[in-house]
Chains A and B, each alone.
Chain A
Amino acid sequence: MKPDIESNLPTESLSFPEGRQLARIFLPAGMIALILTLSGIFFNAERFFYSWLTGFTFIASILLGALFFVMVQHVTRSSWSVVLRRIPETISYQLILLPVFFIPILFGMEYLYEWIRPERIATDELTQHKLPYLNFPFFILRNILYFIVWGFLGYKLYKNSIALDHSGDLSLDKKQRVLSAPGILLFALTVAFASFDWMMSMDSHWFSTMFGVYYFSMSFQAALALIVIITLFLIKKTAFSKIINQAHIHDLGALLFGFTVFYAYIAFSQFLLIYYANIPEETLWYYYRFEGSWIYLAYLFLIGRFVLPFILLLNKRAKSNHALLTGVSIWILFLNFLEMFWIIIPILHKGAISVHWLDVASFVGFLCLSIGFFFYLLAQNSLIPKKDPLLAESLKKH
């Protein structure tokens, strides 16, 4: 049954044990950076919580985007992506760690969320109206629910895939699909409400039905960027290069291109509708984010997160140009952090961009820790889902 081409490919033995060495660099680096960030609580508690939330929403967006990638591949029974599916699987497995990162936020609720401050509740009618939803116990309950859903999906999809590697039991493949279909529905609801809870409710008056979709569009673009970076890195370092061909890279590039456009579409639609109707309760959110030097960041997202990648990746050959793809992806990943920064920090610092070293530490910390943990996990298993029934087809992609 197996085609000939497979026999001379190292599908059985392909792994990346060197990942441990990388983990040994990235994990401590991330730890140190996060501890440094945590130390901020002693001298600038307010800023610390804002920086932490920025880093948290940044890393959560990537992990969630990767989870969505895995689920969509299962549901559509897509064959092209099988060879590189282990990468997003391993990324989204880290969702089980997300609640740990969330704990510090619980101690900074009063700094971050105005709806919890008693003086705000007492004087503001709208906040009172929202009390049944925006209150501390329910907030915690909801977040526990999100973490259970994501953790379960991330954990199961990863573990089943690893188990399939060892046992070759094809019923596991079916299980993945059965898990993913309702998983996507749950994902959509939880991500939307999580984005409301974490970011939208920081301004307790503001609302936008699109906000969940907006957060998702950023997540998926950033997750694709990270998948591209890691795939190209592994191609450089391992025999992965024999498995993944230009056609796979081109498809990844095309997806990154497509979801860059999708991000722009969602972000612009949200802005246009609010700008156009010009109702005070909505425009205020954009007002603060366009005030003073903050507007430059908004322009940066327009140019840097849409126009530039769009032009650079428009050409067919550019979509499989390794150096270009890596560059664009790193840039998008960085802008994803910056956009979280632009959403969160203006609440604290109105009128002018303010960068604190805690922001940098939080960014470096979350990213390094996640990458370190990723390589630590990756080193333990095969680089590809080697017993996946669609693998042969995926290898043959041209």
Chain B
Amino acid sequence: MSQSSDTQKDLLVKGNHDFASVTRLISDIPQQKTPAWWYIAFGISNILLAMLLGMVILLIWNGIGVWGLNQPVGWGWDITNFVWWVGIGHAGTLISAILFLFRQGWRTAINRFAEAMTIFAVMCAGLFPAIHVGRIWAIYWIFPLPNSMQLWPNFNSPLLWDVFAVATYFTVSTLFWYVGLIPDLATMRDKVKGFYSKIAYGVFALGWTGSNRHWQHYEKAYMILAGLATPLVLSVHTIVSFDFAVSIIPGWHTTIFPPYFVAGAVFSGFAMVLTLMIITRKLYHLEDIMTIDHIEKMNIIILVTGNMVGFAYAMEFFIAWYGGVEYEKFAFINRAFGPYAWAYWIMITCNVVAPQFFWVKKFRRHIGLTFFLSIVINIGMWFERFVITVTSLAQDFLPSSWGYFSPTYVDVLTYVGTFGLFFTFFLLFLRFLPMVAISEVKGVMPQADPAYYRNNQKH
């Protein structure tokens, strides 16, 4: 095996890098002059962020009626966006935690990046339920705080489970991300020239020296955090699915929801990682680290999770008929052929048909196609949540109270605005932090294994 290092084939890092050149490749990025495109992108993101702020103020000032919500559709784009953003976040945790536990060395090239995406996506997600409560000044009621009325939040409510799950998820993801960053912040501290930047990186590096007495605890901590994040990521989307599935609304109450939501989350999250990664590796010339092999592996995961989602659609449809419950049957027929059929078929095309391209190796390694499909999949997954949320509410038990949901401009602009929030943070991350886990990439290079030198000496 050690001899295979002569060939480029099996290597995770391409292009004959040594430790110093890997450090340089990544730590130089925050030290370079800020590229012009960054200012443009950051400016656009800031405008969108300002717009989001305006929309949120408008909403809080007027109440949630400014959205298209009304009887019978009380959950519309807000919940759709919430689930969509949380789902996107899940890929980051999957890459950083689950692939770590499965010892997938290739994850090191993208985990930092994907974890950052997770944190910012969860921020965007958390915004929606928070502003949807209406009276946001009383939002602290969702926490179990002693109060003068001696009331407590209802722990039987899946919405409260969500509060705990998403808050925990955000906290744990951030801790995990930060623990991973510490050695690289120390690298930055030792590399940057400026006095203030040295202090800034130095403070956050917490005095990291690379001591093995630290590495020992660090590795253990990393392993434990990965072990904690893995069931957590499954539980978060499971609990999100409980928001729907513990009810008795037709189309929402079905037992396959938990694993189906988790698969869908991973599916859309990987697509989002790919979208961002394909742009970033180009802009920052990181093709040696984020290689085409990574893209192929991620496409395989997209294919697998896409088919899991397809499997769940099939099960739902079959059981809706098999169960023989009238409302359930209607809900599914109505999804496919009712007033929202257009959304349903967009969903099917994007989520079930589109990933089938990835059966072919050539397509899996085609960057242009991957980029296109990754966007298609994210559109599809947004529509999935839209279909689930809105079709079931718009036409439920009583035909006399059926309705049709149309978003207002506030709905649309709030959603678009969250991209401003996301990209503002994401661009700041790209600009100031090492976007690849430097120490981890070094750790998976063949030179990092002491056995590498022993074998080479022998031959």
Contact = CB atoms under 8 A, between A and B. Distances in A.
User: For the complex, would chain B's binding face be called helix, strand, loop or mixed by DSSP majority?
Assistant: helix
B322 A210 contact: no
A269 interface: yes
B259 interface: yes
A45 interface: no
Contact of A273 (B245, B308, B314): B245
Contacts of A122: none
Contact of A212 (B247, B257, B315): B315
Interface stretch (A165-173, A184-192, A353-361, A367-375): A184-192
Contacts of B38: none
B324 interface: yes
Nearest to A395: B1
Contacts of A25: none
Given A1-B3, A276-B246, A277-B246, A129 B255 contact: no
A119 interface: no
B325 interface: yes
Interface in A164-221: 181, 184-185, 188-189, 192, 196, 205, 207-213
Interface in B129-180: none
Contact of B1 (A3, A185, A207, A272): A3
B238 A207 contact: no
Given A185-B307, A192-B315, A393-B1, A273 B246 contact: yes
Interface in A350-398: 392-393, 396
A254 B308 CA distance: 24
A274 interface: yes
Contacts of A133: 322
B246 A272 contact: yes
Nearest to A4: B458
A393 B3 CA distance: 12
A279 interface: yes
B323 interface: yes
B322 A207 contact: yes
Contact of A130 (B101, B103, B234, B322): B322
A192 B308 CA distance: 12
Contacts of B414: none
Contacts of B307: 185, 188
B324 A130 contact: yes
A209 B315 contact: yes
Interface string A251-272: 0001000100100011001101
Nearest to B300: A75
Nearest to B234: A265
A314 to B, nearest CB: 9
Interface in B55-87: none
A209 B256 contact: yes
A159 B53 CA distance: 63
B324 A126 contact: yes
User: For the complex, would chain A's binding face be called helix, strand, loop or mixed by DSSP majority?
Assistant: helix
Nearest to A255: B102
Contacts of A274: 255
Contacts of A266: 258-259
A296 B455 CA distance: 59
A163 to B, nearest CB: 24
Interface in A65-117: 80
A208 B323 CA distance: 8
Interface in B318-354: 319, 322-325
Nearest to A80: B103
A207 B256 contact: no
B241 to A, nearest CB: 9
Given A209-B256, A209-B319, A270-B255, A265 B238 contact: yes
B256 A213 contact: yes
B255 A208 contact: yes
A273 B315 contact: no
B153 to A, nearest CB: 18
Nearest to A262: B234
B242 interface: yes
Contact of A209 (B254, B308, B455): B254
Contacts of A185: 307
B313 to A, nearest CB: 10
B154 to A, nearest CB: 13
Contacts of A276: 246
Interface in A260-302: 261, 265-266, 269-270, 272-274, 276-277, 279, 281
Interface string B230-246: 01001000100010011
B323 A281 contact: yes
A196 B2 CA distance: 49
B248 interface: yes
A139 to B, nearest CB: 14
B39 interface: no
Given A269-B255, A273-B253, A273-B257, A207 B242 contact: no
A206 B316 CA distance: 14
A26 to B, nearest CB: 34
Would you list the 9 A-B pairs with minimal beta carbon distance, nearest first? Answer: A210-B255, A209-B256, A276-B246, A207-B323, A269-B258, A208-B255, A129-B324, A209-B319, A209-B315
7 contacts: A129-B324, A192-B315, A207-B323, A265-B231, A269-B259, A277-B247, A392-B1
Given A207-B319, A209-B255, A265-B231, 16 more contacts: A181-B359, A188-B311, A189-B311, A192-B311, A209-B315, A209-B316, A210-B256, A213-B256, A213-B259, A266-B259, A269-B255, A269-B258, A272-B242, A273-B254, A273-B257, A279-B248
Interface of A: 1, 3-4, 80, 126, 129-130, 133, 181, 184-185, 188-189, 192, 196, 205, 207-213, 254, 258, 261, 265-266, 269-270, 272-274, 276-277, 279, 281, 392-393, 396
